[in-house]
Amino acid sequence: QAFDNTYLFYGAYRVGPESSSAYSIRLAYLLSPLACLLLCFCGTLQRMVKGLPQKPFLGRDHRMLLSAKVFSSWDFCIHVQEAATIKKQEISNEFKVELEEERRFRQVQQQTQAQRACRLLTYLRVNLLMGLLVVGAISAIFWATKYSQDNKEESLFLLLQYLPPGIIALINFLGPLLFVFLVQLEHYPPNTEVNLTLIW
């Protein structure tokens, strides 16, 4: 019965009191997008977990033979030239990633204790810088919103009301570029670089 008495599903928002509604429309407007974002996050997390390779759980000694990958990777149902080209590039990229991960694993095994400590310090510095960037971005959005709301009476309010979306667009444009650059400084394997960039 609460759904019959609400303005939420008609796209209207009333500032006045809600005497006829069984629940708070203001709260519904706040929680509906948050619930959608939470569901999207859970779906993305589930797909990421399904897509994790089994190799890290089996240990480094258990490796798929490259010859098995060569002979079992091709899809013989492909009849279109464009699809065949894409499949060839996909198989080539898989081999490149596999060989790069093996090379990096051997480099890590040959490092001395001092080199490992240096690498750990690099990880800490880069991750601290990334954390500061995230906090700075959130602070910039907060202060831009607060400034635009506090100066409603000024003549430039038309421009000021676009300040928060402009800051958000700038952060969405520059943030991923910075994170891609910073994650590459840590010298992770390509798969880890992609996952860390997505997380940041």
Q: What is the pLDDT of residue 11?
A: 56
Output the DSSP codes for 69-88. HHHHS--TT--SHHHHHHHH
**Separation between Cα atoms, residue 23 and residue 36, nearest integer Å:** 19
Q: What is the pLDDT of residue 106?
A: 84
Greatest mean pLDDT among 49-58, 146-155, 171-180? 171-180
Q: What is the pLDDT of residue 42?
A: 94
Average confidence (pLDDT) over 162-190: 82
Question: pTM for this one?
Answer: 0.49
**Tens of pLDDT along 93-128?**
888 877 877 787 788 788 888 888 888 888 888 888
Output the DSSP codes for 103-151. HHHHHHHT--HHHHHHHHHHHHHHHHHHHHHHHHHHHHHHHHHHHHHHT
Residue 80, number of CB atoms within 10 A of its CB: 8
**Separation between Cα atoms, residue 162 and residue 188, nearest integer Å:** 39
- Amino acid at the residue 57: F
Q: What is the pLDDT of residue 41?
A: 93
Residue 144, number of CB atoms within 10 A of its CB: 19
End-to-end CA distance of the chain: 42
pLDDT-based confidence at residue 40 (cuts at 50, 70, 90): very high
